[in-house]
Amino acid sequence: MNIAQLAETAQALVADGKGILAADESTGTIKKRFDGIRVESTFETRRDYRNMLFTTAGAAEYISGVILFEETLRQEAADGRRLAQIIVDAGMIPGIKVDAGAKPLALHPGETVTEGLDGLRDRLAEYAELGARFAKWRATYGIGPGLPSAACQDANAHALARYAAVCQEAGLVPIVEPEVLMDGDHDIDACEAVTETTLRRVYAALAAQDVVLEGTLLKPSMVISGADCPEQAGVEEVARRTVRTLRRCVAAAVPGIVFLSGGQSDELATQHLNAMNKLPARRPWKLSFSYGRALQAAPLKAWSGKPENLAAAQAAFLERARANGQAALGNWS
C-alpha cells in the first residue's frame, strides 16, 4: 500500500473549489431518469448522455473526479475513445462504484446491509487496470420506531471498513458513504442522533481494520429534517448541526468530506454546502460535494436525448458545477 499516493489522490479529489460528480447510477436507476424525459435507456443513450457530461468544456475547474458505474468504466465513446480516458484527458479522476447494493438484513425487517465483498479484491485489480483511482461503497440507514438498530449500524460499519481496507490494498482511495435516509417524518433531532451514532460506529470499524484515514474520504448525508416532517429545519440550522456532528465524529486526518445530496433540490443542496463553509467553526477537513441528481437534473432535462440540445445541456451542467464549486468555498450566492 502506497500511503502517500492514496493521500495525494484523496487530497486532489477535494482540491479547493472542486467536488465529485456521481454518475454511477445503475442501469435500473438511470432508466427511471430517462423515463422522465421520454428517452429509451440503451447502451448507446447511456453512453452519449454521460459522455456529454464528461466533455463539458470548463467542468474540470469545478469537478475533480467522476464516480462511474461499471458499464461506463468499460465503455467507449462513439469516436472510439474510452470514457475513462476522456475523463483523464479533461483533467478529472475516474472512480468506480463497487458495492452490490443494499439487501435485506436477516432478522431485522425494514433494514438493509450492503453486499459486494465477495470477489472485491479481484474486481478492484481489474478496475485499477481500467483507470479507476478511487471507489465508492454506499450503506443506508432508515429512521423510524426502533430504527436503525445497533445490528444494522454494526453490520454496515463492518462492511464499509472491510471494503475500505481492500481498496487501499489495491491502491484505490475508498469513499465511505453512510447515508442516513431522508425518508420519513422524523425531525432534525432524530437525524442528528442517528448520524452521530452511525459515524461513531463507522470510524471505530475503520480503526479496527487498520484503514489509513489520510487515504480516505467520507460521503455522508447532511443532518436534515425528514422529507415528511411538518417542520423543516432552515439552512443555517442544517449547516450548524451537520458541522457539529462531524466535528464530534470525524478525525482531522480525513482529508475531506464530500456530501451526497440525498433527495434535496439542486439549489437547496448548494445552499446547505455554502452555509457550512461560511460557518466560523473550525473545520479540519475540506467540505465539498459528491452530487448526482443535484448536478445532473438540469442538464438531463435540457438534453432530453436530442443531439441538437448538447450545448444547452452542457451549459446547464457547467452552471450547476460552478455553483457547487463556489459553495465548496463558501462563496456562492
Q: Can you tell me the distance from the alpha carbon of 148 to that of 177, in angstroms, rounded to the nearest whole number?
A: 16
Against a cut of 0.85, is the pTM above it? yes
Q: So what's the pLDDT on residue 69?
A: 98
Amino acid at 34: F
The answer to whether the beta carbons of residues 320 and 57 sit under 8 Å apart is no
For 299, residues 6+ apart whose C-beta sits below 8 A from its C-beta are 52, 53, 313, 314, 316, 317, 320
Question: Taking the domains of the chain in order of start, what are their residue ranges?
Answer: 3-327
pLDDT computed for residue 18 by the predictor: 98
Residues 94, 276, 322, CA angle at the centre, nearest 5°? 45
Query: Which conformational region is residue 230 in: left (phi greater than 0), alpha (psi within -120 to 50 degrees), or beta?
Result: alpha
Read off the C-alpha cell for 221.
Answer: 448525508
CB 242 within 8 A of CB 272: yes
Task: Residue 294: count other Cβ atoms within 10 Å of its Cβ.
Answer: 26
pLDDT at 1: 79
Q: What is the pLDDT along the chain (333 residues), one digit of tens a residue?
A: 799 999 999 999 999 999 999 999 999 999 999 999 999 999 999 999 999 999 999 999 999 999 999 999 999 999 999 999 999 999 999 999 999 999 999 999 999 999 999 999 999 999 999 999 999 999 999 999 999 999 999 999 999 999 999 999 999 999 999 999 999 999 999 999 999 999 999 999 999 999 999 999 999 999 999 999 999 999 999 999 999 999 999 999 999 999 999 989 999 999 999 999 999 999 999 999 999 999 999 999 999 999 999 999 999 999 999 999 999 999 999
CATH code linked to domain 3-327: 3.20.20.70
Active site residues: 177, 219
